[in-house]
Each structure stands twice: as structure tokens, then as C-alpha cells.
Amino acid sequence: MKHIVILGNGISGITAARHIRKHSNHRITVISGETEHFFSRTALMYIYMGHMKYEHTKPYEDHFWGKNRIELKKAWVSRIEFDKKELVLVGEAPLTYDILILAVGSEPNRFSWPGQDLEGVQGLYSYQDLEKMEVYTHGIKRGVIVGGGLIGVEMAEMLLSRGIEVTLLVREESYWNHVLPTEESALVTRHIQEHSIDLRLNRELAEIRPDSSGKKVGSIVTTNGETIECQFVCLSVGVHPFIRILADTALETDRGILVNEYLETNLPDVYAIGDCAQHRQPPAGRKAVEQIWYTGRIMGETVARTICGSRTTYTPGIFFNSAKFFDIEYQTYGEVTVPLPDDTDTFYWEHSNGRVALRINYKKGSGAVVGFNALGLRLRHEVCDRWIKEGRSINDALAHLREVHFDPEFFRRYEEEIVQAYNSSQSEHVVLQRGKKSFFSRLFS
């Protein structure tokens, strides 16, 4: 029996622990200095907004871990002695291992802005960040969020829920337009502004200035020379793998911890999974570093199989992600990149209310579907995934649009309008048809 130590109790580390226990009797120890028990990190915003309590975010009862012989240790690791197979803990005796799984996650980016260490300046990643946010935002009038993306919107929603005015600084011309195509970015930009957010585009942070105490946030200055009074600053300019404790060790790192297709590092008996892992050769259609909940889960399952004797390659499948811009749901599947590749064409439909949209990307010539974006409507994951894998044609996809629509029975359906828009968009005004029936009449007869 080997001693397997997992450093990090997020989704990747805990999934690895659970699946190692399913397949073996190895001793398992999970170490985290953040919290004793695994919790849903994406639910932090709902704790702040009063929709949930911390105990509601724990997927497993506290007795689950003892019952399954998974030891939990709340401690911080100061360094790792790989040659000794030893973790040096802060204020405690070192811990030895036979196999080490690094699942240490990410940390928010910072760019050496003057004043970024003042009280009231933070990101939102850890449970400790949530605790600090409770203190720093109590009774304040305005908060400034630096950076867009998904975390920026979540932070804005959190502050608004407590009646705090929000200014959002975004360096791009339109919200998240390095990820979202032009039309989707414009839709999200409008929706954010409709929520009474002071959205300032083409703006970047220059410095954070203290209040009269010299310790707390008093205002920020943009690179345009604007001064905005505020009492809280959220830095949501992305995250990077947490690898600081690995400096000057034999473990090979770049942006993250370098791993092969089996999630093995350059050192024997050392693996890396989740946000901190960087794939030397990423799977097709994937990035070298992907900080997404479900990829961490897949990596946890994969490394568990390998450690327990069934060597398994990391295979995440077709890319997908989902999020929420206030009350507009967002889903993306496959390849919907900015800018549009030369060999790819696109069909975009947007409802007249400006809150519902669908994009389908497909290959020129073959018409094979390669990606979907959906805003304000729900798509079936398994159908999108299958159609992309099969290379289903855009015409066939539209002919079976009802199969991919996931909205409940009494929600409005949009297939008719989408099909009409597609037919109208064809350069030669071609109407899809089979025999004497048009595509439209065939679909809704």
C-alpha cells in the first residue's frame, strides 16, 4: 500500500482522491491551507449574495471523508523536497509521500499597479477572499472592478446585490471581445449597461490611491487620467497557475507545471492536474492551460486510473463552457474563436429583443458544424457534442434544431425565426428543401 498525497482540495484533487479510493486501498491524504473540506468554488458569489451558506456549498457531508478513508489535513506547504519525497509544512512536522499529485490551482493576476496592496484591493478566488470582501465592502458606496470576462460580471452582480454602485473598467472596445465575436460582445455590453453599471470601455487602471488614512482605498486613476472615487477595488484580470512554491526545484514549469498526456511531470511519482497543469502537447482543439471546472474533474479521474494501474491518457473531448451574464445564460461548444478562421463560415441569429442569440460556425465547402454559441437559450450538451464529432452539416443541424433546444416546455421556441433568418442569409437566396416541401414547412408541419 502506497501513501498518495494530494496537494489541493479543489475539484481536481478531490476527484482524484475519490477515484483512487474506488480503485485501490492506498492511503490517501489531501492537504489544503484554504479550507478543511472541499467546497464549490463557483458558489462563493451566492454566499456573498445571501442565497447560500458555506455549508450548502459542500457536495459531501463531513463524515464522508472518514468513511472513505480519505485523510484531510488543513495546513500550508512552504516547500517541497522532491529528492526526499517530503512536503515541508508551516508550523508542523514534514509529511512524506510515495506518490504526489499537485492540484494547487491558480491565483489572480496582478500587474504591479501602485496602491494594489492597500486594504480593499483584492480578487475573488479563495474562501479567504470572500471573507476579506465581507469586511472591505461593508457600508461602502462604490466599488471599481478592473477587467472584464466572467469574474468581472460576477463581481458586479455581487456588489449590486448589496446596493453598492459599480464602475467596470474594460480595456477592450466591447465587453470580452477577444473571446466573444462582435455581435455577442455587443449584446453582453448592452445587457451590462442595462443593469445600471458604469461600464467604461477602452479604460485601463493606472494606479490605486489611498484615502486619508493612507491604508485603505480612496480612489483609482485610469490611464486616460480619470479619477474615480471608490472604497473597494476588485482585480479580475485573469488568473495564472500557482507555481511560486516550485521555484528553484527540479520540477519543470513554464506558465504552469509541465505534464505529458498521462499528466506525469518530469519527476517520477509526481503528477499535476487542474488549473496548475500545462500540457506539453495539448489535445486537439484545447489550450495548454485550461482553468475550467470540468477539465479539472476529468484530469482527476484520469490520473486516478493511471496511479491505480490502468495508464490512461487525458482526453477532454470537444471544448465547452457555460456561464451567466446576470440573467442571460451563455453556452459555447467547439470552435467559436475570434477572429473567425479563413476556412470557417458562420451563421448568427439574434432575436429582436436583443437578449437571445445563436451562432453556428461551420466549415466552408463541407458545411460541417464546428461550434455553437448560445445566449439566452439552452442547448443540449450531448447533441452539440455529437453533431460536432460527426461533422453534421449546417443544413442538417438546422433541419433538426428542435433536438438541440433544451428550454422547458412552456418557454418560447425560436426555431422558426432562426430557420427563416438562415434562409434569408444565403447569398443566392437558396431555400433548403426536400422534394416539394421547403425546409421551413417540413420542420413545422
User: What pLDDT digit, counting tens, does each position of 295-309 carry?
Assistant: 999 999 999 999 999
What are the residue boundaries of the structural domains of the chain, listed by start? 3-107+240-307, 121-237, 320-444
Which residues lie across from 332 on neighbouring strands?
321, 373
**What's domain 121-237's superfamily in CATH?**
FAD/NAD(P)-binding domain (3.50.50.60)
State the pLDDT confidence band at 310, using cuts at 50, 70 and 90: very high
Strands (E), 53-162: 70-74, 77-81, 86-89, 95-96, 99-102, 106-108, 121-122, 142-146
Evaluate if residue 409 carries a pLDDT over 80: no
Contact yes or no for 127/113 (Cβ under 8 A)? no
3-107+240-307 classified as CATH 3.50.50.60 = yes
With a pLDDT cut of 90, the percent of the chain lying above it is: 89
pLDDT digits (tens, 9 = 90+) for 229-283: 999 999 999 899 999 999 999 999 999 999 999 999 999 999 999 999 999 999 9
What value does the mean pLDDT take over residues 96-106? Answer: 97
State the pLDDT confidence band at 148, using cuts at 50, 70 and 90: confident
Of 14, 33, 4, 20, the C-alpha closest to 242 is 33
**Residue 213 burial (CB count, 10 A):** 9
Q: What CA–CA distance (Å, rounded) separates 52 from 164?
A: 20
Which residues lie across from 333 on neighbouring strands?
320, 372
Evaluate if residue 434 carries a pLDDT over 80: no
Helix (H) or strand (E) holding 351, with range, is none
Q: What CA–CA distance (Å, rounded) separates 139 from 137?
A: 6
State the pLDDT confidence band at 428, using cuts at 50, 70 and 90: very low
Instruction: Supply the mean pLDDT for the chain.
Output: 93
Reading the block at residue 60, the C-alpha cell is 459531501
Of 257, 364, 379, 276, the C-alpha closest to 318 is 379
320-444 classified as CATH 3.40.50.970 = no
Evaluate if residue 431 carries a pLDDT over 50: no
Q: How many helices and strands in the chain, by DSSP H and E?
A: 12, 27
What local confidence, expressed as pLDDT, does residue 427 receive?
52
State the pLDDT confidence band at 374, using cuts at 50, 70 and 90: very high
Strands (E), 147-281: 165-170, 198-201, 205-210, 217-222, 227-229, 232-235, 239-241, 257-259, 270-272, 277-279
What local confidence, expressed as pLDDT, does residue 410 receive?
65
* Domain 3-107+240-307 and domain 121-237 have a common topology: yes
What local confidence, expressed as pLDDT, does residue 331 receive?
97
Q: What CA–CA distance (Å, rounded) separates 344 from 42?
A: 33
pLDDT digits (tens, 9 = 90+) for 332-365: 999 999 999 999 999 999 999 999 999 999 999 9
Q: Is the backbone peptide bond immediately before 210 cis, with ω within 30 degrees of 0?
A: no
State the pLDDT confidence band at 203, using cuts at 50, 70 and 90: very high
